């Protein structure tokens, strides 16, 4: 039997080629033979061409099974590609509509030799809402800090102030403005800046304008000090009355120059938080000082920040 290795090794390249040709000749007819196959979970996509309506939610069901016939080669390719069923809606006649599926809507059917034998289920239910048009104002959220020596003197000025938004009525619920991309205050003070609309929060609404000019009004920062402001205490219905230590504080304010310069000491009321005065006779508490009458966009600090509130023991 020693001659077998010689037979196997002689012309081995020709033998491998012959074997490959035999496999090919055996498989090609199988790939070209007609067969059928069921593709599960084929997505249903809606192409809405009626501009007066919007689709609400996915179709029901959102996936169907498709029975196909064709060559084994084409069916294998179709199983890999898994094209959708695309349903055209040219005119909406009712808010809730049932549509019978057509085999021609399967994107894999047509000239490739694949035939749609069956669709299950054969219909889908769609929900629509009539499109509305509303004008919503822009809102410009801010973050970060202004450059040193600059203070904000009012809310951001936005131009235009808002935009027309299209969408279903239900999509407008809870939406009272169009949010712009947050503006970094470190960039403010040099004039208006163009900010894009933050579309992530619009939940399917379609604004007809996608950017606006935002300018943060600023002024140079000014500071003032108001020493010796006497704390005002509420008067109780019964004695003994409340006492505070120290009896006066110094208030420092800082902010835009025009607002800071307009403040008078008579405008400021220094007091303690309401709801913290129910001390029993002989009791005391440490409370933070509250300053009323400070304009918006102006900040303040107090020295000292805390005071002792006391109610003496009764006689």
The CATH number that domain 33-130 falls under is 2.170.120.30
**33 Cβ partners below 8 Å, 6+ apart?**
71, 72
Order of strands, edge to edge, in the sheet holding 150-152?
150-152, 218-230, 248-256, 299-303
Q: Which residues pair with 27 in a beta bridge?
A: none
Residue with the bigger pLDDT between 82 and 113: it is 82
Confidence of residue 19 (pLDDT cuts 50, 70, 90): low
* The predicted structure's pLDDT at residue 237: 84
**In angstroms, how far is CA 143 from the centroid of its own chain?**
17
Spell out the CATH class of 220-310.
mainly beta
Confidence of residue 108 (pLDDT cuts 50, 70, 90): low
Q: Are strands 123-139 and 178-179 parallel, antiparallel or unpaired?
A: parallel
Confidence of residue 24 (pLDDT cuts 50, 70, 90): very low
Q: Domain residue spans in the chain?
A: 1-32, 33-130, 140-216, 220-310
Confidence of residue 208 (pLDDT cuts 50, 70, 90): very high
* pLDDT greater than 90 at residue 105: yes
Q: Residue 17, preceding bond cis, omega within 30 degrees?
A: no
- Closest to 219 (Cα-Cα) out of 253, 187, 188, 183: 188
* The predicted structure's pLDDT at residue 273: 86
Q: Fold identical between 33-130 and 220-310?
A: yes
Write down the pTM of the prediction.
Answer: 0.63
Confidence of residue 53 (pLDDT cuts 50, 70, 90): very high
Q: Are 178 and 138 in contact (CB under 8 A)?
A: yes
70-92 pLDDT, tens digit per residue, is 888 888 888 888 899 999 999 99
Measure the CA–CA gap between 172 and 272, rounded to whole angstroms.
43
* The predicted structure's pLDDT at residue 274: 75
154-185 pLDDT, tens digit per residue, is 999 999 999 999 998 888 988 999 999 999 99
* The predicted structure's pLDDT at residue 26: 46
* The predicted structure's pLDDT at residue 73: 83
* The predicted structure's pLDDT at residue 189: 80
* The predicted structure's pLDDT at residue 192: 93
Tokens representing 93?
Answer: 């006649």
* pLDDT greater than 60 at residue 130: yes
Measure the CA–CA gap between 104 and 108, rounded to whole angstroms.
9
Side-chain half-sphere CA neighbours of 95 within 13 A: 6
DSSP 265: G
Mean pLDDT of 199-226: 93
Confidence of residue 207 (pLDDT cuts 50, 70, 90): very high
Lowest mean pLDDT among 39-53, 86-100, 275-289: 275-289
């Amino acid at each position: 039997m020693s001659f077998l290795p010689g037979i196997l090794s002689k012309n081995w390249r020709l033998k491998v080629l012959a074997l490959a040709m035999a496999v090919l000749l055996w498989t090609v007819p199988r790939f070209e033979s007609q067969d059928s196959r069921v593709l599960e979970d084929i997505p249903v996509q809606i192409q809405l061409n009626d501009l007066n309506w919007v689709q609400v939610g996915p179709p029901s069901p959102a996936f169907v099974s498709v029975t196909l016939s064709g060559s084994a080669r084409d069916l294998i390719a179709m199983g890999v590609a898994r094209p959708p069923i695309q349903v055209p809606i040219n005119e909406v006649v009712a808010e809730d509509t049932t549509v019978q599926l057509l085999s021609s809507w399967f994107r894999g059917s047509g000239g490739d030799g694949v035939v749609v034998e069956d669709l299950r289920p054969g219909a889908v239910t769609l929900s629509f809402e009539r499109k509305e048009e509303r004008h919503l104002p822009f809102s410009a959220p801010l973050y970060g800090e202004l450059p040193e020596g600059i203070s904000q003197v009012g809310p951001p000025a936005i131009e235009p102030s808002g935009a027309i938004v299209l969408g279903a009525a239900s999509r407008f619920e809870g939406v009272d403005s169009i949010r712009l991309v947050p503006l970094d205050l470190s960039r403010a003070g040099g004039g208006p800046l163009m900010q894009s609309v933050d579309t992530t929060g619009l939940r399917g609404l379609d604004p007809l304008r996608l950017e606006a000019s935002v300018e943060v009004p600023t002024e140079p920062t000014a500071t003032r000090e108001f020493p010796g402001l006497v704390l005002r205490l509420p008067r109780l219905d019964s004695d003994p009355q409340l006492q505070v230590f120290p009896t006066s504080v110094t208030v420092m304010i800082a902010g835009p120059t025009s607002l800071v310069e307009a403040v008078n000491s008579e405008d400021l009321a220094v007091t303690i938080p309401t709801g913290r005065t129910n001390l029993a006779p002989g009791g005391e508490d440490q409370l933070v000082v509250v300053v009323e009458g400070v304009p918006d966009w102006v900040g303040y600090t107090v020295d000292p920040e805390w005071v002792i509130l006391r109610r003496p023991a009764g006689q």
